[in-house]
Structure 1
Amino acid sequence: MTRALSFETVSISYGRGAQTFTAVDSVSLRLEPGEILGLVGESGSGKSTLARAAVGLVEPAAGSIRLGDTVISRATGTDLRERRRIQMIFQDPQSCFDPRRTIGESLDEALVSAYRREGEPCPSRQARAARVGELLDSVSLPGERAASLPAELSGGQRQRVAVARAIAAEPEVILADEITSALDVSVQGTVLNLLRELQRDLGFSVLFISHNLAVVRAVCERVAVMRGGRLVEVGETLRVMESPDQEYTRDLIAAVPSL
């Protein structure tokens, strides 16, 4: 069963003393089970930092992050296993893969990690290879791509493999951080449709981080707006896009190019 992901007055800072920079400032936000929530704001607003805290790449200086009732910020032991129920897909999938390992090896590693997390016996190599084939099929890639190195795939194909690696862990939450911004426009729709289909079929929640308000409007049920590390507006996507409460949100919307 999918659980809510909650950020409770989370603050994240970098540096020390006079050099301290607050990237996220007392943010409270809840991603409901099975929801696609957009997180928007200009560069440097704290969107990606907030997401990275959910997977433990940075730790909050204050506040807490929960998956259901479990506190996963500063997690140890069994709580650390719970944090692995959250998977992150990054903007540049090329940097997330070992260039010396095949796509199949990377997916197999994700499968082994998932079995270890659950304390279950690891299936045979043959059974895992079959599962790798299923994962590739789920993102519309042929099974023979398992033998390819990351550099042998296009950007869109690498991003689809990144999605496959995320769902290999059977996540409750996927954090999608600008996952289409590095792709050609012709490929963006394919990746977005794939993510929505998998979300509908598997039931995980998505925190969809983007600066592209047109994409957010198309795929997200609610949207949250950040500015300077603070959350300034949250609401149903259509309402926020058409009748925003905050001047900053209106400025963001006005900056979207129109034909």
Structure 2
Amino acid sequence: MSNRLSFESLSITYGHGASLFTAVENVDLTLEAGEVLGLVGESGSGKSTIARAAVGLAEPSAGRIMLGETEISHARGDQLRERRRVQMIFQDPQSCFNPRRTIGQSIDEALISAHRREGTSAPQARARRDEIANLLRAVALPPETAQRMPAQLSGGQRQRVAVARAISAKPAVILADEITSALDVSVQGSVLNLLKELQRELGFSMLFISHNLAVVRLVCDRVAVMRSGSLVEVGDTLDVMHQPQHEYTKELIAAVPSL
């Protein structure tokens, strides 16, 4: 099974006629197997729209999205099961949890769904509880967190739970959409280190979406720069940071004093 995610001549539009808006236009971009690719650009540049299309939350108007050799855009049947190998972690995990379900129940739901996708029977409840405990330990949370409600956790803890739920699906690809932007600076580093460690250990590919170039520099192997729905530059992270080719990339880097 491939961990390579490709966007081929991808365009995404909203509305019709005079109200037609092009959010993404003719983007060609490949996330190679096992790599961390940063996707940067100002708000409204189309970064999140691309990620949402990969998990079926936005429909391409042209082009296609491939996971390995399988098209997962407009997915149906087996393609839909394959698309679930792409998991997304959102900026605000609070909005992604059912406030009436415990953390353990939310992760359990993801575990059962992963077994259904693989065509295997889910383990008995006790075995799943053990697996949930192991997942929580993997993201540096105590197993007792499973008994708590989302509102009882801090933002950093909820983001760690979101990571645990994503990896419970045994993903080929994780899309991390501004996952540290709502966290205190003191918490950001620990969440980023955790994600990098899990990525090395489990081998998933990761599209890391951020407007923070300093963070991207620390986390990503390559970086792609978007502006107004179009891709303007792609390259190795250090090359782009130190020798940007596009004027827009130069402006982004100049706006980050720490670089």
- TM above 0.5, one fold? yes
Q: Which runs of 5+ in 2 are unaligned?
A: none
Displacement over 6 Å in runs of 4+: none
RMSD, matched Cα: 0.8
Retained in 2: the 8 A contact 1:26–1:63? yes
User: After superposition, where does 1:157-236 map in structure 2 within 5 Å?
Assistant: 157-236=157-236
TM-score by length of 2: 0.99
User: After superposition, where does 1:45-56 map in structure 2 within 5 Å?
Assistant: 45-56=45-56
Q: Which residue of 2 aligns with 1:15?
A: 15
1:122 shift after superposition: 1.3
Letter in 2 for 1:28: D
Letter in 2 for 1:21: F
Offset from partner CA, 1:63-109 (integer Å, 9 cap, x none) = 00000000000010001000000000000010000011000000000
Letter in 2 for 1:41: G
Retained in 2: the 8 A contact 1:2–1:34? no
User: After superposition, where does 1:116-131 map in structure 2 within 5 Å?
Assistant: 116-131=116-131
Retained in 2: the 8 A contact 1:2–1:204? no
Q: Which residue of 1 aligns with 2:65?
A: 65
Instruction: State the identity as a percent.
Output: 72
1:16 shift after superposition: 0.7
- Please give the alpha-carbon distance, in whole angstroms, between the structure 1 residues aligned to 2:194 and 2:125: 28
Offset from partner CA, 1:134-160 (integer Å, 9 cap, x none) = 000000000011000000000000000
1:258 shift after superposition: 3.3
Q: Which residue of 1 aligns with 2:100?
A: 100
Q: Which runs of 5+ in 1 are unaligned?
A: none
SS at 1:9 equivalent: strand
SS at 2:170 equivalent: coil
- Please give the alpha-carbon distance, in whole angstroms, between the structure 1 residues aligned to 2:257 and 2:93: 27
1:227 shift after superposition: 0.2
SS at 1:195 equivalent: helix
- Please give the alpha-carbon distance, in whole angstroms, between the structure 2 residues aligned to 1:58 and 1:172: 20
What number of residue pairs does the alignment pair up?
Answer: 259
Offset from partner CA, 1:234-258 (integer Å, 9 cap, x none) = 0000000000000000000001133
Letter in 2 for 1:172: A
1:3 shift after superposition: 2.4
- Please give the alpha-carbon distance, in whole angstroms, between the structure 2 residues aligned to 1:226 and 1:185: 25
Q: Which residue of 2 aligns with 1:89?
A: 89
Q: Which residue of 2 aligns with 1:146?
A: 146
Retained in 2: the 8 A contact 1:2–1:203? no
Offset from partner CA, 1:223-242 (integer Å, 9 cap, x none) = 00000000000000000000
Letter in 2 for 1:192: L
Retained in 2: the 8 A contact 1:110–1:169? yes
Instruction: Work out whether 1:25 is the aligned partner of 2:25.
Output: yes
1:39 shift after superposition: 0.2
Q: Which residue of 1 aligns with 2:246?
A: 246
Letter in 1 for 2:224: A
1:15 shift after superposition: 0.5
Q: Which residue of 2 aligns with 1:111?
A: 111
Letter in 2 for 1:65: I
- Please give the alpha-carbon distance, in whole angstroms, between the structure 1 residues aligned to 2:57 and 2:44: 17
SS at 1:176 equivalent: strand
- Please give the alpha-carbon distance, in whole angstroms, between the structure 2 residues aligned to 1:202 and 1:58: 28
Letter in 1 for 2:21: F
SS at 2:194 equivalent: helix
Letter in 1 for 2:85: R
Letter in 1 for 2:233: E
- Please give the alpha-carbon distance, in whole angstroms, between the structure 1 residues aligned to 2:242 and 2:109: 45
- Please give the alpha-carbon distance, in whole angstroms, between the structure 1 residues aligned to 2:239 and 2:125: 50
1:2 shift after superposition: 3.8
Letter in 2 for 1:162: A
